[in-house]
Each structure stands twice: as C-alpha cells, then as structure tokens.
Chains A and B, each alone.
Chain A
Amino acid sequence: MELAISIIVGFMILGAIYAIHARDILSAVIAGGIVGYSLVICFLLLKAPDLAIVQIVVETITLIIMVAVVLDSSRVEAYGKFDRPAWVTAGTAVLILAILFWFLKEASAPLAPFGENSMRMADAYVNGAVEKTGSINLVTGVVFDFRGYDTLGEATVLVTAVLGVLTILRIKGKR
C-alpha cells in the first residue's frame, strides 16, 4: 500500500509542477484537478471515506467553476516584468526560510519526541466514543462532539468566504 500511495503522490507532484509551468491556463487548471482527484484515491486507500466523499464533490464543483471562469476570460497567462534583480528575490526567500526553520526548531524543542505518546489522545477517542456520544460513525462523533469548536470555526470560515465573494462581486453598490 505504501508503494501505491508513493506512486500516486509522485503523480500529484508531477501535476503540480506542470500546473505551475503551463503556458495555457486551461491545461494548468486541469493539471490542478489531477492533484485533487489523486488525493481522493489516497483517502480511499487510507480508509477515510468521509474525507473522500467531501474531496471528490468539492473538487468537481471547483473544477467546473474554474473552467467556466477561464473559458470566459483569457487562456493566456499575463507575464509581468520584474525590475528587481534575481539575486535579491532569491536571497530574501532563503533568509525568510532560514528564520522560519529556526523558529520551528525552537518551538518544537519542548515537545515529545517524534512518534512517542501520539496514541494517548487517540486511545480515548477510539475506545470511548460510542458510549460518550452515542454515534456509531466515529468521525461524526469527533467532529461534532469532542471537537465542536473546530466545526464551528469551519462553518464560520464558509460564512466569511461567502461574505467576501458577495462584497467583491457586487456591481450596483460601486456606482
């Protein structure tokens, strides 16, 4: 199973690299779809059907919207001219990466070593969930009962996204 997932992940990396370098934006969008649909197969192989259902439907709807937008606007990518020399950009990127890695190393030092004590929380969830929540589907029990705050946050993110779209795409109010 590791071999199959490795092959699919390699395929996803190829699709992502092609999506960056494609001249035609439509083929870049389709190559981005490769990443999403490969992720569905990964979820099914890792026995996560809840995530697979969400991912395949969201990927399809997103692809439809993106293809419609690309077909209605331009298929040619607009290349801009950068007046900064290349070594300034590369140097800034390397500097920011170094600072981020230093903060990551400092922040992860007091944590438990990798791979130890990781099952402490999962044991309580897996063994006592049916008695505590009454739900057979463990994922729903965790999402809506143990981690209810997370779900509230996700729903709020969706509402905020809709508010942003409605604010940007309103024509009458701009005049």
Chain B
Amino acid sequence: MEGMTVIVKKTTQLIAGIIFLYGIYIILHGHLTPGGGFAGGVILAGSFILLILAFGSDFLNLIREERGSTLYENLAILVFLLLALTGLLAGGKIFFANWLPHGTPGELVSAGFLPLYNIFIGIEVAASILTIFLALVIFKEEILK
C-alpha cells in the first residue's frame, strides 16, 4: 500500500497526535463524561489507522506492530479478568465487586475500580481493532508479492 500526497501527510502529522490524546482523555474521564473504554479505544485505533493509510505500509514495520498489538490485546483482557476476580477474593465475595474506596463523586480519581476497568477495556479495544486492520494490510501485501 502506497502513501498519499504531501498535503495528506502534513495534515496527518498535525492531527494524529491530537486524536491520540483525545482518545486517552475519553478513556480517563469515562466515569465523569460521556464516553469510556469502548469509545476511547476505537479513537486510539483510529489514529494509528490514519497514520498507516496516509504514510503507506512501508512507514511502519507491520509484522512487529501486529505481534505487539496481539500481545497487548490479550494481556489487557487478562488483567481485566484478574481485576474482576479480586472482587471474588477480597471485599464482598462477589464477582465484579467494587471494593476499592469510592472517594468523592466527580473527582478524577474516584469510583473505585471503574477507571481501571475503563483503561484496560480501552487498551483491549484499541489493540483488537488495530490487529484486524493490520492483518488485512499484511494479507494484501503478501498476496501482491
């Protein structure tokens, strides 16, 4: 896959970082404002997809990227499951028990486990959508060879 024109490349350079930061903001403020892990994760994956579409597939080492994104996807869902299991061991002996102190509602660090769940679901969604996109691009590159 080849890159696009100079105008698209320059605009992508300016915009991609801002999109990435916006995704992180959506994930971290998931328990305060609309959004959360699913929405923010897809936005994070979108910034990477924008980079690959604009700069072409020679810009990144695609196979290494795919290996990393697969690893992070599976690790994130594993940590999410372990966090849910801690509710079974500690606290009220309930799966998905929110036993951390809740803090003041409205603060950034509050609501116990919910921000942690948001962060790991965000990593998982971003890595899985990026993995699907990278698998399609790598498939096309290998077909064309």
Which residues of A come within 8 Å of B, CB atoms?
Answer: 49-50, 53-54, 57-58, 60-61, 64-65, 68-69, 72, 130, 133-137, 139-141, 143-145, 148-149, 151-152, 154-156, 158-159, 161-162, 165-166, 169, 171
Contact = CB atoms under 8 A, between A and B. Distances in A.
Contact of A139 (B36, B121, B125): B36
B56 interface: no
A65 B142 CA distance: 18
Given A50-B36, A61-B129, A145-B114, A136 B31 contact: yes
Interface in B5-37: 26, 30-36
Chain B interface SS verdict (over half)? helix
B53 A159 contact: no
Contact size range, B: 35 or more
Contact of B111 (A57, A135, A143): A135
A61 B80 CA distance: 25
Interface in B91-145: 95-96, 98, 102-103, 105-106, 110-114, 117-118, 121, 124-125, 128-129, 131-133, 135-136, 138-140, 142-143
Given A135-B111, A137-B33, A145-B96, A162 B132 contact: yes
B128 A158 contact: yes
23 contacts: A49-B35, A53-B35, A53-B39, A57-B39, A57-B42, A72-B140, A134-B111, A137-B31, A137-B32, A140-B111, A140-B118, A141-B114, A145-B96, A145-B98, A145-B114, A148-B117, A149-B95, A155-B124, A156-B77, A158-B125, A159-B128, A162-B131, A165-B135
